[in-house]
């Protein structure tokens, strides 16, 4: 039976051994573990990952294995060396700082990279023990970026989703990594790649198009044989868990204890894992400035700061811990009183009851990371506010700021704004607090963790269906045999061949579109057969094609069907079309050329083309969209058509198209075998004009009117070679 396998670096359980050598299994209370519980605990489904423990004997290994098996989990065994180089090294000293925009902390260490590859392979080797081809695999987070591709190599058809829990950096940051291409290719082994925010997804797509040489169309990456969907899935929390915990008698009893100790002081709350991305020292400096600027709050407001120990064997973390200790000491030393501690600082982890009591007691949650994939603390605070009173101050740099726009949003680098935000929060009228929190609570309830899991899984199913629908149309072995048989049995064949992107590679050098020896040989053999009538049907002007095809027995349709030339004949115009419009449109194109270095205008007899293939990547696409909408407006009353092709925008008369020309050709040259192949949407008109029995083939894996798809120019050539052999 098909099953779902979750994979992450750590399992949702931690194994520890106590002093007596007895093993303890501590379940994770994290949101991800809860959310995915609905998935991995069902039926045959499993979660694969590391336990965080190095078994000391075979016996321990067996005990752990048995326990995990009952809980639908499977372990991946990591050695101390693996953890040092792969986890502490590549994951936390390369990917983490780069992805959080701290390039100065990155250690470009090849040994880390080798270990990262090795451990990703280790995960794959463990997984293959459990996988079958109809399973669904959901891989989590930056420690396993290479895993999707590794699984794909062994299971080409399997469903793979990947979710990145931390930010994906902009191209400018990501390209600093020497292993950038391998990392992208690793991810593109998935069918669905998910991020918390639209910006992360945009950054990823930009890196893919620039660094991985893959074609990106909106949210889809064409990965040779598959379409990969990239989307944003903002992760939610287990809302009811935090709301219920806040309402529980234990939490309320704990709150009373806290309140008694605080002696009526108002509370600002700060909770983070120890990490430079969380902005903890910056927050302390802002608190110091706040006390200085607003002495009216002295002895009235305390900052309760919970810092959860993390990665404290890494140099930057040790330094930051020291910095925090110093700052807390300095501020408490300067402002503290016998009956007031400005900062209550805890460097440890607290149980959920205490955490919930803190959420209840806090008037203000101060969540100001320098960069954060999402940040769940701010969401948990809002869910815990049963009376809807309380104010959230949230950094714009957290993914959650995109959803929680009713919080006070601030830039954590802006000290004055941080100070001002604290003052605004502490003086916000209760009605306004309730109003803001109501909106945020409604949204957090709806977009909770199980919603997140469902939406991700549904999208994975959806993209798989799209892939399957394309697969059905793929020109397979059997279709080829039918095609060849019908070709051989026919007496009069009409063969329409688009040129650029179909017979020759458009990329990387469209200027070198001249036919090479292989293509000339194919065309020669194809045209030598007296039963074949070959028509090159192209958007190009007449001159280059006439030159390149000289000596071959081919007909030609140029400029999308404006000009027709039968075999050995002379050029004829499809119809008299007006070209007065050029005088008006040319200056518009000129203005785009002068603003866009590298672009140029091609003047065809009855069309104008603005080329941008030599323009800086990104800028050309931007200008072409602008130009297209500019021209579409002008085109409406002038009976013109604006075509967006590969790195071109072409303007021509409406009545000229490849379909009309192909129809006319077929009428004059009836045949018992029709064949048409093309790669872009101007060829869709040709496909549409063909009889149902025709063999119409689209190059590329997009939807098309054609009956079949092939992947590349090489496939077209291979097919034509089979026909002439």
Query: Applying CB under 6 A, does 191 fall inside the site for ligand GDG?
Result: no
Given the rule CB under 6 A, which of 27-35, 610-618, 621-629, 717-725 is the region that contacts ligand GDG? 27-35
Q: Decide: helix, strand or coil at residue 21.
A: coil
- Yes or no: say if 704 and 698 are a contact pair by the CB < 8 Å rule: yes
- Least spacing, CB of residue 369 vs ligand GDG, in Å: 8
List C-alpha distances in Å: 298 to 2, 5, 272, 303, 338.
Answer: 62, 54, 25, 11, 12
Q: CB-wise, 372 or 650, nearer to ligand GDG?
A: 372
Residue 289 structure tokens? 């400035």
Tokens matching residue 515: 């036919």
Match 């009893």 to its residue by tokens: 253
215: left (phi over 0), alpha (psi -120 to 50) or beta: beta
Residues 117-156 contacting ligand GDG, CB under 6 A: none
Of 324 and 355, nearer to ligand GDG (C-beta) is: 355
Does the annotation count 605 as an active-site position?
Answer: no
Separation CA 82–CA 375 (nearest Å): 28
Instruction: Answer left, alpha or beta for residue 48, where phi above 0 means left and psi between -120 and 50 means alpha.
Output: beta
Site residue total, ligand GDG (CB under 6 A): 22
Per CB under 6 A, the list member of 147, 177, 188, 271 interacting with ligand GDG is 271
**Is residue 236 left, alpha or beta, with left meaning phi > 0 and alpha meaning psi from -120 to 50?**
beta
Q: 106, exposed or middle or buried, with CB in 10 Å at 0-12, 13-18, 19+?
A: middle
Determine if 376 is a binding residue for ligand GDG (CB under 6 A): yes
391 in Cβ contact with 435 (< 8 Å): no
Under the binding rule (CB under 6 A), the answer on residue 656 touching ligand GDG is no
166 binds ligand GDG (CB under 6 A): yes
- For ligand GDG, the closer of residues 212 and 328 by Cβ is 328
Q: Which stretch binds ligand GDG (CB under 6 A): 372-380, 457-465, 617-625, 693-701?
A: 372-380
Task: State which residue, 31 or 678, has the beta carbon closest to ligand GDG.
Answer: 31
Q: If binding is defined by CB under 6 A, does position 374 make contact with ligand GDG? A: yes
- Residue 503 and residue 509: Cα distance in Å, rounded? 14
- Among 282-290, 334-342, 371-379, 430-438, which window interacts with ligand GDG (CB under 6 A)? 371-379
- Mapped onto helix, strand or coil, the DSSP state of residue 159 is strand
Nearer to ligand GDG, 151 or 235 (CB): 235
Q: How far apart are CA 389 and CA 254, in angstroms?
A: 19
Print the binding letters for residues 281-320 with ligand GDG: x by CB under 6 A, - otherwise: -------------------------x-x------------
Residue ranges in 664-723 that form contacts with ligand GDG under rule CB under 6 A: none
- Closest-CA residue to 419 (of 297, 286, 328, 300): 286
Question: Cα(89)–Cα(109) distance, rounded to whole angstroms?
Answer: 8
Q: What part of residues 338-357 is at the interface with ligand GDG (CB under 6 A)?
A: 349-352, 355
Residue 600's alpha-carbon distances to 591, 594, 609, 611, in angstroms, are: 11, 9, 8, 5
CA distance 691 to 662: 11
- What is the distance between the alpha carbons of residues 478 and 168, in angstroms, rounded to a whole number? 43
Rule CB under 6 A: choose which of 14, 84, 117, 165 binds ligand GDG: 165
Q: Which is nearer to ligand GDG, 322 or 349 (CB)?
A: 349
Minimum Å gap between C-beta 394 and ligand GDG is 12
Q: Given candidates 122, 273, 388, 451, which one binds ligand GDG under the rule CB under 6 A?
A: 273
Stretch near ligand GDG under the rule CB under 6 A, chosen from 23-31, 110-118, 326-334, 583-591: 23-31
Nearer Cβ to ligand GDG (347/600): 347
Q: Binding to ligand GDG by residue 375, rule CB under 6 A?
A: yes
Of 272, 498, 500, 683, the active-site residue reads: 498
Taking the C-alpha atoms of residue 532 and residue 491, their distance in angstroms, rounded to an integer, is: 8
**Residue closer to ligand GDG, measured from CB, 166 or 483:** 166
User: Contacting ligand GDG (CB under 6 A), which of 208, 291, 362, 377?
Assistant: 377
Catalytic residue ranges: 498
Q: Which residues bind ligand GDG (CB under 6 A)?
A: 29-31, 165-166, 235, 271, 273, 306, 308, 349-352, 355, 372-377, 380
């Amino acid at each position: 039976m098909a099953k779902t396998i979750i994979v992450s670096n750590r399992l949702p359980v931690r194994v520890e051994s106590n002093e007596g050598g007895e093993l303890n299994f501590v379940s994770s209370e994290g949101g991800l573990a809860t959310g995915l519980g609905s998935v991995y605990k069902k039926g045959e489904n499993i979660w694969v990952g590391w336990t965080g423990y190095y078994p000391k004997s075979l016996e321990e290994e067996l005990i752990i294995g048995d326990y995990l098996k009952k809980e639908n989990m499977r372990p991946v065994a990591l050695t101390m060396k693996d953890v040092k180089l792969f986890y502490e090294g590549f994951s936390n000293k390369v990917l983490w700082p780069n992805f959080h925009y701290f390039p100065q902390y990155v250690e470009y260490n090849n040994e880390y990279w080798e270990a990262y590859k090795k451990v990703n392979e280790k995960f794959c080797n463990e997984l293959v023990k459990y996988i079958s081809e109809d399973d669904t695999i959901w891989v989590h987070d930056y420690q396993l970026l290479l895993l999707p591709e590794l699984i794909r190599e062994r299971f080409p058809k399997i469903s793979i989703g990947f979710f990145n829990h931390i930010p994906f950096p902009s191209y400018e940051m990501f390209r600093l990594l020497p292993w950038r291409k391998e990392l992208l290719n690793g991810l593109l082994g998935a069918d669905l790649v998910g991020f918390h925010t639209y910006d992360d997804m945009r950054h990823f797509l930009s890196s893919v198009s620039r660094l991985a040489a893959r074609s990106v169309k909106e949210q889809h990456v064409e990965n040779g044989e598959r379409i990969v969907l990239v989307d944003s899935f903002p992760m939610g929390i287990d809302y009811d868990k935090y709301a219920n915990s806040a309402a529980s008698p234990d939490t309320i009893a704990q709150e009373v204890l806290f309140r008694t100790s605080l002696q009526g002081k108002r509370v600002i709350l700060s909770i983070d894992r120890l990490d430079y991305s969380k902005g903890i020292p910056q927050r302390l400096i802002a608190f110091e400035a706040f006390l200085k600027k607003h002495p009216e709050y002295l002895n009235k407001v305390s900052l309760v700061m919970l810092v959860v120990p993390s990665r404290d064997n890494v140099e930057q973390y040790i330094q930051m811990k020291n910095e925090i200790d110093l700052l807390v000491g300095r501020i408490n030393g300067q402002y503290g009183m016998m009956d007031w501690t400005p900062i209550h600082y805890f460097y440890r982890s607290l149980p959920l009851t205490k955490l919930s009591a803190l959420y209840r007691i806090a008037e203000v949650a101060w969540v100001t990371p320098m960069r954060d994939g999402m940040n769940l603390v701010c969401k948990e605070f809002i869910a815990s506010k049963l009376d809807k009173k309380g104010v959230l101050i949230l950094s714009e740099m957290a993914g959650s700021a995109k959803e929680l726009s009713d919080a006070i949003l601030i830039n954590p680098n802006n000290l004055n704004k941080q100070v001002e935000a604290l003052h605004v929060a502490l003086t916000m009228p209760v009605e306004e607090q309730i109003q803001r929190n109501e909106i945020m609570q409604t949204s957090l309830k709806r977009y909770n963790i199980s919603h997140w899991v469902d939406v991700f899984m549904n999208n994975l199913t959806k993209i798989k269906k799209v892939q399957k629908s394309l697969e059905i149309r793929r020109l397979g072995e059997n279709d080829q045999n039918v095609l060849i048989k019908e070709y051989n049995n026919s007496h009069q064949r009409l063969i329409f061949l688009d040129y650029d992107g179909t017979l020759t590679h458009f990329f990387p050098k469209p200027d070198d579109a001249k036919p090479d020896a292989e293509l000339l040989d194919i065309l020669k053999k194809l045209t030598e057969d007296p039963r074949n009538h070959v028509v090159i049907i192209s958007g190009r002007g007449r001159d280059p094609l006439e030159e390149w095809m000289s000596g071959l027995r081919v007909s030609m349709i140029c400029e999308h069907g404006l000009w027709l030339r039968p075999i050995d004949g002379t050029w004829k115009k499809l119809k008299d079309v007006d070209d007065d419009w050029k005088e008006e449109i040319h200056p518009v194109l000129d203005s785009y050329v002068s603003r866009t270095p590298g672009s140029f205008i091609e003047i065809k007899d009855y069309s104008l083309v603005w080329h941008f293939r030599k323009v800086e990547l990104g800028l050309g696409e931007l200008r072409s969209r602008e130009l297209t909408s500019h021209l579409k407006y002008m085109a409406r009353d002038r009976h013109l058509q604006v075509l967006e092709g590969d790195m071109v925008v072409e303007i021509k008369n409406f009545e000229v198209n490849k379909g009309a020309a192909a129809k006319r050709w077929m009428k004059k040259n009836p045949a018992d075998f029709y064949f048409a192949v093309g790669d872009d949407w101007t060829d869709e008109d040709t496909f549409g004009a063909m009889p149902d029995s025709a063999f119409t083939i689209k190059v590329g894996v997009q939807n098309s009117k054609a009956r079949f798809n092939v992947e590349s120019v090489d496939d077209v050539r291979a097919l034509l070679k089979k026909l002439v052999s």
